[in-house]
Amino acid sequence: MNAFINGELPNYWRAVNWSEDAMQREQLKKKISKVMRKGYISPGKVKRLITFFAVPKGPDDIRIVYDATKCGLNEVLWSPKF
């Protein structure tokens, strides 16, 4: 077992609620594409999902917040507290 995993990884399949605001939705797509280009997310078979949402980052930008609490991932992953 991996030293950072303390239990069985959860299965989570709830769809992400995209923003109804068209501008914010486009910003989200742009940010997600950037993460995919870096190789953090890749196309293929999906085993589990993690929810995310946008928060304002200044007047014209957003920040993506990944929420590992809802899918149960926080319960089984260990991370050092700095």
- pLDDT (tens, 9 = 90+) of the chain, 82 residues, equals 455 777 777 677 676 777 788 888 899 889 989 988 998 888 888 777 788 888 899 888 999 988 878 778 777 877 777 5
DSSP string, 33-79: HHHHHTTSS-SS------EEEEEE-SSS-EEEEEETTTTTHHHHB--
Query: What's the structural domain count of the chain?
Result: 1
User: What per-residue confidence (pLDDT) applies to 30?
Assistant: 92
Q: Residue 82: which domain range?
A: 1-82
User: What per-residue confidence (pLDDT) applies to 79?
Assistant: 72
Distant-in-sequence, close-in-space partners of 81: CB < 8 Å, separation ≥ 6: none
User: What per-residue confidence (pLDDT) applies to 37?
Assistant: 92
